[in-house]
């Protein structure tokens, strides 16, 4: 599959890196890029050899938001009918394999929201996060008003969304928006290393762990803990559980098969 606005690479078995590639517009998310990203996600979802994705941009920008030039003259009817971000948003919300966002430079507006749709964010020291839509007379529209407060708390989310100020990588790490900050020249190396580690685990256990952490944002504590207990028990139906525990006892590396 070839794309005009994405570069897709397989740096290591089981790991696919999807790089947003519209350098002339700081990777602004236009209809073509979003369509291609939806296709790339569909390809990765059904390919059993893909165990973990890394979504990244350039050194200068992960993505500077939705494409303002493409969007500016649209009518309400056009925005409603095309549902521009719906297909990618829904795919990412329901994607069963892990997606790591590797963010360098600007992650603004829809770019910040795209990063938050991933399972965790690794940031380079140059990363800057923001929801500056208020400057345009609009608001976040791909989940920012909901995911940012869950990630960083109400006060900081309100501050960022109402004042449009950007957060640097150190603040984003302190606030819990990103899992770790790494030197800019090590960003892809670190993100791919994390993806390789995940790709080597039992894919079944990975999917269940991901499902349960996401459930923490949707359910009560009691329901979430009950779901966790049931899924923990169910893992004992898989060969991978036997292999993982036998390998520990035998002092060897496990060879998970996804069965």
Which residue numbers are catalytic? 66, 110, 113, 133
State CA 174 to chain mean position distance: 19
Of 30, 69, 57, the C-alpha closest to 129 is 57
Gap between the Cα atoms of 76 and 82, Å rounded: 10
Comparison of 50 and 84: residue with beta carbon closer to ligand CO8 = 84
Minimum Å gap between C-beta 129 and ligand CO8 is 11
Applying CB under 6 A, does 68 fall inside the site for ligand CO8?
yes
Gap between the Cα atoms of 33 and 132, Å rounded: 21
Comparison of 14 and 140: residue with beta carbon closer to ligand CO8 = 140
State CA 229 to chain mean position distance: 26
Minimum Å gap between C-beta 22 and ligand CO8 is 9
Applying CB under 6 A, does 110 fall inside the site for ligand CO8?
yes
Quick one: which segment of 64-72, 96-104, 174-182, 238-246 binds ligand CO8 (CB under 6 A)? 64-72
Applying CB under 6 A, does 84 fall inside the site for ligand CO8?
yes
Applying CB under 6 A, does 240 fall inside the site for ligand CO8?
no
Quick one: which segment of 11-19, 25-33, 93-101, 210-218 binds ligand CO8 (CB under 6 A)? 25-33
Crossing angle of helices 203-215 and 239-250, rounded to 10°: 110
Binding mask 154-193 for ligand CO8 (x = CB under 6 A): ----------------------------------------
Comparison of 134 and 205: residue with beta carbon closer to ligand CO8 = 134
Distances (CA, A) of 177 to 38, 116, 141, 157: 24, 8, 18, 11
Q: Which residues contact 205 (CB under 8 A, 6 or more apart)?
A: 235, 238, 240, 241, 244
Written as one string, the DSSP assignment of 183-213 is -GGGHHHHHHHHHHHHHTS-HHHHHHHHHHH
Of 103, 106, 139, the C-alpha closest to 121 is 103
State CA 41 to chain mean position distance: 12
Applying CB under 6 A, does 103 fall inside the site for ligand CO8?
no
Comparison of 141 and 149: residue with beta carbon closer to ligand CO8 = 141
38 by DSSP, 3-state: which?
Answer: helix
Applying CB under 6 A, does 36 fall inside the site for ligand CO8?
no
Minimum Å gap between C-beta 19 and ligand CO8 is 17
Comparison of 136 and 196: residue with beta carbon closer to ligand CO8 = 136
Applying CB under 6 A, does 66 fall inside the site for ligand CO8?
yes
Applying CB under 6 A, does 64 fall inside the site for ligand CO8?
yes
Comparison of 108 and 152: residue with beta carbon closer to ligand CO8 = 108
State CA 66 to chain mean position distance: 16
- Phi first, then psi, for residue 205 (nearest 5°) are -65, -40
Residues within the interface to ligand CO8 (CB under 6 A): 25-26, 28, 64-69, 84-85, 106, 108-110, 132-133, 135-136, 140-142
């Amino acid at each position: 599959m070839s794309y005009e606005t994405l570069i897709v690479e397989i740096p290591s078995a089981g790991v696919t890196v999807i790089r947003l590639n519209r350098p002339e517009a700081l990777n602004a998310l236009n209809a073509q890029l979003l369509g291609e990203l939806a296709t790339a996600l569909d390809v990765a979802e059904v390919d059993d050899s893909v165990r973990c994705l890394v979504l990244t941009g350039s050194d200068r920008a992960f993505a500077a938001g939705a494409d303002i030039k493409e969007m500016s003259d649209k009518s309400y009817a056009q925005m409603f009918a095309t549902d521009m971000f719906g297909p990618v948003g829904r795919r990412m919300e329901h994607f069963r394999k892990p997606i790591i966002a590797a963010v360098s430079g600007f992650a603004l507006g829809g770019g910040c929201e795209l990063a938050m749709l991933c399972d965790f964010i690794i940031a380079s020291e140059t990363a800057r996060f923001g929801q500056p839509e208020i400057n345009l007379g609009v608001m976040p529209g791909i989940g920012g008003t909901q995911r940012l407060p869950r990630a960083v708390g109400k006060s900081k989310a309100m501050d960022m969304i109402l004042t449009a100020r950007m957060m640097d990588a150190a603040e984003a790490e302190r606030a819990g928006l990103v899992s770790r900050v790494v030197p800019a020249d090590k960003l892809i190396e670190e993100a791919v290393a994390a993806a390789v580690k995940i790709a080597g685990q039992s894919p079944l256990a990975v999917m269940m762990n991901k499902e349960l952490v996401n459930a923490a944002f949707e359910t009560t504590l009691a329901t979430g803990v009950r779901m966790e207990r049931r899924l923990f028990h169910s893992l004992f139906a898989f060969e991978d559980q036997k292999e993982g525990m036998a390998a520990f006892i035998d002092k060897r590396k496990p060879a998970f098969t996804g069965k």
